[in-house]
Amino acid sequence: MLTDTAEFHYEAWSWLAESVGITIDRMFNEELKGVSREESLEKILHLGGKEDLNEREKRQLAAQKNTRYVALLENLTPDSLLPGVADFLQAARNRQIPCVLASASKNAHYILNKLAIDEYFIGIVDPSTLSKGKPHPEIFLKAVELLGLAPEETIGFEDAIAGIAGLKAAGIYAVGIISNEKLPRADLCVPSFSKLDIDELLKK
Ligand code: UVW
């Protein structure tokens, strides 16, 4: 939701899936949003009836996908930030509001660096410490821990149903950032960060 990596994931996963005789489409790719690399691979192999590959083969496939994906991430620049993100982060910083990134991606550091916004975050949840994916609240509870705050003192931003469900399960005020639909369980839903007024949000 800081930038759109879905298309890069799609390109890399489609290529990887084709290499083992499986075809995925953009609709299926939607199901991979916010899902870890390993779990995404499982979903793809399941789709193609190939989930019985051994662990070594799965590790190799995941690594191949990641090499291709990271090569595509090379194209990211600060211009790749979604509308309103830079201003919102700056507004948070001006008010001394700390931000933490709760991402299931092991490439999160690299992505923040390419977008030149790493200095706006006091931390990133380490995906290797997570035992359960969204909608489980674990990732958000770890983010709250990094902030040193209680869940009800924080605000979470998500662009997918599973993310909003995770935020709500963690007891966090959930803002849905989504352009073409609604996230029914979100406390507030806006099409982009540019539609958010941070001072209004802080009154919630
Ligand atoms: C995700 O994008 C969720 O994972 P990774 O970048 O680690 O493949």
Which residue among 103, 126, 128 is best mutated to probe the pocket of ligand 1, counting the most ligand atoms within 8 A of its Cβ?
Answer: 103
pLDDT in tens, 110-139: 999 999 999 999 999 999 899 998 999 999
**Nearest protein CA to atom 5 of ligand 1, as residue:** 105
CB atoms within 10 A of CB 109: 15
Cβ–ligand 1 distance for 104 under 6 Å, the answer: yes
Q: Extract the tokens encoding 116.
A: 């030149």
Q: Is 106 annotated as a binding residue?
A: yes
Cβ–ligand 1 distance for 82 under 6 Å, the answer: no
Report CA 157 to chain centroid distance, whole Å. 10
Cβ–ligand 1 distance for 37 under 6 Å, the answer: yes
Which residue among 1, 16, 36 is best mutated to probe the pocket of ligand 1, counting the most ligand atoms within 8 A of its Cβ?
Answer: 36
Closest atom, ligand 1, to C-alpha of 66: 8
**pTM assigned to the model:** 0.93
ipTM of the complex: 0.94
In the chain, what are the domains? 5-74 (1.10.150.240), 78-202 (3.40.50.1000)
Phi, psi of 176, rounded to the nearest 5 degrees: -90, 130
Q: Which amino acid is at 137?
A: P
Angle of the 6-19 helix axis to the 55-73 helix axis, nearest 10? 140
Residue 33's pLDDT band, with cuts at 50, 70 and 90, is confident
**CA 102 – CA 167 distance, rounded (Å):** 10
pLDDT in tens, 83-113: 999 999 999 999 999 999 999 899 999 999 9
Closest atom, ligand 1, to C-alpha of 5: 2
